[in-house]
Amino acid sequence: MNPKPINKQKIEEAIKMILDAIGEDPSREGLVDTPKRIANMYDEIFCGINNDPVELMEVCFTEHHDELVLVKDIALYSMCEHHLLPFYGKAHVAYVPKKGKIVGISKLARVTETYAKRPQLQERLTSQIANCINDTIDPFGVAVVIEAEHMCMTMRGVKKPGSLTVTSAVRGIFQTRPETRAEVFSLINKR
C-alpha cells in the first residue's frame, strides 16, 4: 500500500467553503474552530485508508483446533461513501481454522475496524473482511455478517430510523456445507 497522508489543511479549507456555501459565517464564534475539529476527526475516522489489514493477519499461532471460531457483536462505525454520513452497527466474523493455524481473535476485530475506517459501502466492507481472512490464513471457511443502520437513510432521504441493513459474505465450507452455514447463522442469531 502506498500511503498518502491526510491533508488537514485542505479539509479545513473545504469545510470553510461548505459553511460559507450553506449561508453560515465560518468566522462566527461557534464555527471558527469547526474546520480544524473536522480535519482532526477525518484524520481519525479515515485512518484505515493508509493501513493494510493483511499485515494484521501475519501473526498466527499453532493450535490444533479445527472447529468454528466466532467473534460476535464487533462494534462497527464507518462512513457511507455516497453521502459521507455514518453507518454503524455490529459485525460477526467466523472462521474454521485448518492446518493448526489460528489467529488471535482481536485480529478479526482489527481487520473489521481497518476496512471500516475508509469511505465505504456495507456490501464491499463485508466482502473485504471475508476475503482478507480467507486469503491470509487459508481457513476451511469464513463467514462475515454485518448489521448496520445508515444515517443516509435515517436523517435524510427516506427517513426510516431503526431500519437495519444486513449483509453477509461466506467462503469455503460456509458456502459448500449447508449445515456449517446453518450452525454459524444460528450462533450469530442467538442472543
Annotated binding site for Zn(2+): 80, 83, 152
Active site residue 81: yes
Q: Are 163 and 153 in contact (CB under 8 A)?
A: yes
Is 60 noted as a catalytic residue in this protein? no
Our answer to whether residue 122 is catalytic in this structure is: yes
Task: Return all residues near 138 (Cβ < 8 A) that are at least 6 apart.
Answer: 98, 99, 101
Query: Distance between CA atoms of 78 and 130, rounded to whole angstroms?
Result: 17
Residue closest to 21 by CA, chosen among 13, 33, 10, 30: 13
Could you confirm whether 12 is annotated as catalytic? no
From 60, 65, 152, 175, active-site residue: 152
Q: Annotated catalytic, 64?
A: no
Please give, one letter per residue, the 3-state secondary structure of 16-82.
HHHHHHCCCCCCCCCCCCHHHHHHHHHHHHCHHHHCCHHHHCCCEEECCCCCCEEEEEEEEEEEECC
Of 47, 83, 175, 183, catalytic? 83
Q: One of 80, 113, 120, 128 is an active-site residue; which one?
A: 80
CB contact set of 176 (below 8 Å; sequence gap of 6+): none
Residue list for the binding site: 80, 83, 152
Catalytic annotation on 65? Answer: no
From 9, 13, 63, 82, the catalytic residue: 82
Residue of 150, 175, 179, 183 with catalytic role: 150
User: Quick one: CA torsion of 23, 27, 28, 29, rounded to 10 degrees?
Assistant: 150
Which is the catalytic residue, given 13, 63, 81, 123? 81
Which residues are marked as active site? 80-83, 122, 150, 152
